[in-house]
Amino acid sequence: MNQDLSIVTLLLNASFVVQLVVFILFLVSITSWTVIFKKLFSLRKIRSLNENFEKDFWSGKSLNELFSSATQNARSAGPMERIFASGMREYQKLREKRITDSSLLMDGATRAMRASLQREMDAIESSLSWLASVGSVSPYVGLFGTVWGIMHAFTGLAALQQVTLAKVAPGIAEALVATAIGLFAAIPAVLAYNRFARDIDRVSIQLETFMEEFSNILQRNVSSQSASAH
Protein backbone atom coordinates (compact mmCIF):
# COMPACT_ATOMS: atom_id res chain seq x y z
CA MET A 1 0.00 0.00 0.00
CA ASN A 2 1.20 3.52 -0.81
CA GLN A 3 1.67 5.65 2.25
CA ASP A 4 0.88 9.36 2.33
CA LEU A 5 4.25 11.00 3.02
CA SER A 6 3.16 14.62 2.56
CA ILE A 7 4.67 17.07 5.05
CA VAL A 8 1.30 17.82 6.67
CA THR A 9 0.55 14.14 7.20
CA LEU A 10 4.04 13.49 8.56
CA LEU A 11 3.71 16.33 11.05
CA LEU A 12 0.24 15.23 12.15
CA ASN A 13 1.58 11.74 12.84
CA ALA A 14 4.83 12.93 14.43
CA SER A 15 5.61 12.68 18.11
CA PHE A 16 4.64 15.51 20.44
CA VAL A 17 8.24 16.71 20.83
CA VAL A 18 8.75 16.97 17.06
CA GLN A 19 5.43 18.79 16.67
CA LEU A 20 6.43 21.21 19.46
CA VAL A 21 9.81 21.87 17.81
CA VAL A 22 8.18 22.52 14.45
CA PHE A 23 5.59 24.82 16.03
CA ILE A 24 8.32 26.84 17.78
CA LEU A 25 10.30 27.10 14.55
CA PHE A 26 7.22 28.33 12.66
CA LEU A 27 6.65 31.03 15.29
CA VAL A 28 10.33 32.00 15.12
CA SER A 29 10.18 32.14 11.32
CA ILE A 30 7.07 34.35 11.32
CA THR A 31 8.64 36.70 13.89
CA SER A 32 11.86 36.76 11.89
CA TRP A 33 10.07 37.75 8.67
CA THR A 34 8.17 40.47 10.58
CA VAL A 35 11.48 41.89 11.84
CA ILE A 36 12.97 41.66 8.33
CA PHE A 37 10.19 43.67 6.70
CA LYS A 38 10.11 46.26 9.50
CA LYS A 39 13.86 46.74 9.32
CA LEU A 40 13.76 46.93 5.53
CA PHE A 41 11.21 49.77 5.54
CA SER A 42 12.92 51.46 8.51
CA LEU A 43 16.32 51.59 6.82
CA ARG A 44 14.77 52.82 3.59
CA LYS A 45 13.06 55.65 5.49
CA ILE A 46 16.27 56.53 7.35
CA ARG A 47 18.26 56.76 4.11
CA SER A 48 15.59 58.99 2.56
CA LEU A 49 15.43 61.34 5.58
CA ASN A 50 19.22 61.59 5.78
CA GLU A 51 19.52 62.37 2.07
CA ASN A 52 16.82 65.05 2.27
CA PHE A 53 18.45 66.75 5.24
CA GLU A 54 21.88 66.57 3.65
CA LYS A 55 20.51 68.37 0.58
CA ASP A 56 19.05 71.09 2.82
CA PHE A 57 22.29 71.33 4.77
CA TRP A 58 24.36 72.00 1.65
CA SER A 59 21.71 74.14 -0.03
CA GLY A 60 23.06 77.34 1.48
CA LYS A 61 20.65 77.74 4.40
CA SER A 62 22.07 79.21 7.58
CA LEU A 63 22.77 76.97 10.57
CA ASN A 64 20.17 78.84 12.60
CA GLU A 65 17.51 78.19 9.94
CA LEU A 66 18.37 74.51 9.86
CA PHE A 67 18.36 74.31 13.65
CA SER A 68 14.97 76.00 13.87
CA SER A 69 13.55 73.58 11.30
CA ALA A 70 15.11 70.58 13.06
CA THR A 71 13.61 71.67 16.38
CA GLN A 72 10.12 72.01 14.87
CA ASN A 73 10.35 68.64 13.08
CA ALA A 74 11.94 66.74 15.97
CA ARG A 75 9.47 63.86 15.83
CA SER A 76 9.70 63.27 12.10
CA ALA A 77 13.41 64.08 11.73
CA GLY A 78 15.98 61.53 10.62
CA PRO A 79 19.13 60.51 12.51
CA MET A 80 21.35 63.03 10.70
CA GLU A 81 19.04 65.92 11.49
CA ARG A 82 18.80 64.90 15.16
CA ILE A 83 22.58 64.67 15.43
CA PHE A 84 22.89 68.14 13.88
CA ALA A 85 20.29 69.50 16.31
CA SER A 86 22.15 68.01 19.29
CA GLY A 87 25.40 69.63 18.22
CA MET A 88 23.81 73.01 17.55
CA ARG A 89 21.84 72.93 20.81
CA GLU A 90 24.96 72.34 22.88
CA TYR A 91 26.92 74.90 20.87
CA GLN A 92 24.28 77.58 21.45
CA LYS A 93 23.99 76.75 25.17
CA LEU A 94 27.73 77.25 25.57
CA ARG A 95 27.59 80.49 23.60
CA GLU A 96 24.77 81.75 25.84
CA LYS A 97 27.03 81.11 28.83
CA ARG A 98 29.51 83.47 27.17
CA ILE A 99 32.08 80.76 26.62
CA THR A 100 34.41 81.96 23.87
CA ASP A 101 37.14 79.33 24.06
CA SER A 102 36.99 77.56 20.69
CA SER A 103 38.23 74.24 22.08
CA LEU A 104 35.54 74.19 24.78
CA LEU A 105 32.84 75.06 22.26
CA MET A 106 33.94 72.36 19.84
CA ASP A 107 34.42 69.74 22.55
CA GLY A 108 30.93 70.36 23.89
CA ALA A 109 29.28 70.18 20.46
CA THR A 110 31.28 67.08 19.51
CA ARG A 111 30.40 65.24 22.71
CA ALA A 112 26.72 66.06 22.22
CA MET A 113 26.83 64.76 18.64
CA ARG A 114 28.69 61.61 19.70
CA ALA A 115 26.09 60.85 22.35
CA SER A 116 23.30 61.45 19.82
CA LEU A 117 25.06 59.23 17.27
CA GLN A 118 25.28 56.40 19.81
CA ARG A 119 21.56 56.66 20.58
CA GLU A 120 20.70 56.68 16.89
CA MET A 121 22.90 53.66 16.13
CA ASP A 122 21.43 51.73 19.07
CA ALA A 123 17.94 52.38 17.67
CA ILE A 124 18.96 51.49 14.10
CA GLU A 125 20.68 48.26 15.19
CA SER A 126 17.72 47.08 17.28
CA SER A 127 16.39 43.62 16.34
CA LEU A 128 19.62 42.67 14.56
CA SER A 129 20.57 40.47 17.51
CA TRP A 130 17.26 38.63 17.10
CA LEU A 131 18.06 37.80 13.46
CA ALA A 132 21.55 36.67 14.44
CA SER A 133 20.12 34.40 17.14
CA VAL A 134 17.53 32.92 14.78
CA GLY A 135 20.19 32.28 12.15
CA SER A 136 22.53 30.53 14.57
CA VAL A 137 20.10 28.63 16.82
CA SER A 138 17.27 27.51 14.50
CA PRO A 139 19.27 24.75 12.72
CA TYR A 140 20.19 23.23 16.07
CA VAL A 141 16.60 23.35 17.29
CA GLY A 142 15.55 21.60 14.09
CA LEU A 143 18.35 19.08 14.53
CA PHE A 144 17.15 18.37 18.06
CA GLY A 145 13.69 17.62 16.66
CA THR A 146 15.23 15.33 14.05
CA VAL A 147 17.31 13.40 16.59
CA TRP A 148 14.32 13.00 18.87
CA GLY A 149 12.10 11.90 15.97
CA ILE A 150 14.64 9.29 14.84
CA MET A 151 14.98 7.97 18.40
CA HIS A 152 11.19 7.75 18.65
CA ALA A 153 10.99 5.97 15.28
CA PHE A 154 13.61 3.35 16.18
CA THR A 155 12.06 2.82 19.61
CA GLY A 156 8.76 1.98 17.89
CA LEU A 157 10.51 -0.40 15.49
CA ALA A 158 12.16 -2.33 18.31
CA ALA A 159 8.93 -4.23 19.00
CA LEU A 160 8.59 -5.36 15.38
CA GLN A 161 9.95 -8.71 14.29
CA GLN A 162 10.31 -7.73 10.62
CA VAL A 163 11.49 -4.24 9.70
CA THR A 164 11.05 -2.96 6.14
CA LEU A 165 11.84 0.34 4.45
CA ALA A 166 8.11 1.10 4.26
CA LYS A 167 7.92 0.94 8.06
CA VAL A 168 11.11 2.93 8.65
CA ALA A 169 10.56 5.68 6.06
CA PRO A 170 7.65 7.61 7.71
CA GLY A 171 9.43 7.92 11.05
CA ILE A 172 12.69 9.07 9.48
CA ALA A 173 10.89 11.46 7.13
CA GLU A 174 8.88 13.14 9.89
CA ALA A 175 12.11 13.62 11.86
CA LEU A 176 13.93 15.20 8.90
CA VAL A 177 11.09 17.68 8.42
CA ALA A 178 12.20 19.39 11.67
CA THR A 179 15.69 20.00 10.27
CA ALA A 180 14.24 21.33 7.00
CA ILE A 181 12.01 23.80 8.85
CA GLY A 182 14.94 24.83 11.04
CA LEU A 183 16.93 25.70 7.92
CA PHE A 184 13.85 27.44 6.47
CA ALA A 185 13.82 29.71 9.52
CA ALA A 186 17.59 30.22 9.67
CA ILE A 187 18.58 30.95 6.07
CA PRO A 188 16.43 34.12 5.54
CA ALA A 189 17.51 35.41 8.96
CA VAL A 190 21.21 35.01 8.13
CA LEU A 191 20.84 36.61 4.69
CA ALA A 192 18.83 39.51 6.13
CA TYR A 193 21.31 40.01 8.98
CA ASN A 194 24.24 40.26 6.57
CA ARG A 195 22.34 42.66 4.31
CA PHE A 196 21.19 44.89 7.18
CA ALA A 197 24.61 44.89 8.84
CA ARG A 198 26.14 46.13 5.59
CA ASP A 199 23.44 48.81 5.16
CA ILE A 200 23.81 49.96 8.77
CA ASP A 201 27.58 50.26 8.34
CA ARG A 202 26.94 52.58 5.39
CA VAL A 203 24.53 54.69 7.45
CA SER A 204 27.09 54.86 10.27
CA ILE A 205 29.83 56.01 7.87
CA GLN A 206 27.47 58.61 6.38
CA LEU A 207 26.64 59.98 9.85
CA GLU A 208 30.30 59.99 10.93
CA THR A 209 31.26 61.87 7.76
CA PHE A 210 28.50 64.42 8.31
CA MET A 211 29.65 65.00 11.88
CA GLU A 212 33.19 65.70 10.70
CA GLU A 213 31.96 68.13 8.03
CA PHE A 214 29.62 69.89 10.44
CA SER A 215 32.39 70.13 13.05
CA ASN A 216 34.63 71.79 10.47
CA ILE A 217 31.91 74.34 9.68
CA LEU A 218 31.39 75.07 13.38
CA GLN A 219 35.15 75.43 13.82
CA ARG A 220 35.30 78.00 11.02
CA ASN A 221 32.35 79.90 12.55
CA VAL A 222 34.03 79.94 15.96
CA SER A 223 37.30 81.12 14.45
CA SER A 224 35.63 83.88 12.43
CA GLN A 225 33.64 85.08 15.45
CA SER A 226 36.78 85.12 17.59
CA ALA A 227 38.62 87.09 14.91
CA SER A 228 35.82 89.63 14.59
CA ALA A 229 35.67 90.03 18.38
CA HIS A 230 39.34 90.99 18.42
Q: Can you give the pLDDT at residue 140?
A: 94
Number of domains in the chain: 1
Q: Is residue 157 part of a domain?
A: yes
pLDDT for res 230: 53
Residues of the chain with pLDDT under 50: 1-2
Residue 59 covered by a domain: no
Report if residue 71 sits inside a domain.
no
- pLDDT, residue 86, reads 94
Inside any domain, residue 197? yes
What is the domain extent for residue 219?
Answer: 7-44+80-229
In a domain, 54, yes or no: no
Q: Is residue 182 part of a domain?
A: yes
In a domain, 64, yes or no: no
Residue 51 inside a domain? The answer is no
Closest to 85 measured CA to CA, from 228, 214, 230, 205: 214
pTM for the model? 0.82
- Residue 1 has a pLDDT of 42
**Residue 5: what pLDDT?**
57
Q: What pLDDT is recorded for position 133?
A: 94
